[in-house]
Chains A and B, each alone.
Chain A
Amino acid sequence: NAGVTQTPKFRILKIGQSMTLQCTQDMNHNYMYWYRQDPGMGLKLIYYSVGAGITDKGEVPNGYNVSRSTTEDFPLRLELAAPSQTSVYFCASSYGSRAGNTIYFGEGSWLTVV
């Protein structure tokens, strides 16, 4: 019963470094998402994918890149990390996008940029 698995759980980056947050799901879901959560600000959509090979921008895509080469994996790449990217990142997936399709979240990745 793995569901959505994210790694790493915690990471400290220096300004200007790059890193990739890994996400994999074992529910055969077509849709995958990356959200960031800042204190008191709810969850903001960074990027999403409707299937392998297809990605699109969400509300706050600047400074991030994604790829979707398989149904299971949806890594999030941070290029040239900035303090503004200090946040908790959640990967999520759903079977489809129609109203009523439950979105399942991973447990989060805590990222600090110093």
Chain B
Amino acid sequence: GENVEQHPSTLSVQEGDSAVIKCTYSDSASNYFPWYKQELGKGPQLIIDIRSNVGEKKDQRIAVTLNKTAKHFSLHITETQPEDSAVYFCAASDAGTALIFGKGTTLSVSS
């Protein structure tokens, strides 16, 4: 089955810096790669996603890149702000039902 590895587990940046979180997946059949943000005491919320027929997708300060050959995808946050502090999860899914999640990255943005 699918296995998703996520790095780093913790990331501390200064406000205004960029943050990059990387994930690798094992199943070449996976074709959907969402990123979720989880704030303290809340459920995860989708922030951006990418399908396997696209190499990059951007939404304001957030971008995701996908390298299908290498089986890895990354989340890029530019001009970080304190409200970006949260736990971020990557996930991968084939055409089936289950999303397989990475273990999460705790991002801390200090002002």
Contact = CB atoms under 8 A, between A and B. Distances in A.
Given A99-B31, A100-B32, A100-B51, A43 B44 contact: yes
A42 B42 contact: no
A42 B102 CA distance: 6
A102 B103 contact: no
Contacts of A98: 95
Interface in A1-28: 4
Interface residues of A, number: 26
How many chain B residues sit at the interface, stated as a range, is 20 to 34
A105 interface: yes
A43 B101 CA distance: 6
B97 A40 contact: no
B49 A100 contact: yes
Contact of A97 (B49, B51, B96, B103): B96
Interface of A: 4, 31, 40-45, 48, 50, 56, 58-59, 90, 92, 97-100, 102-108
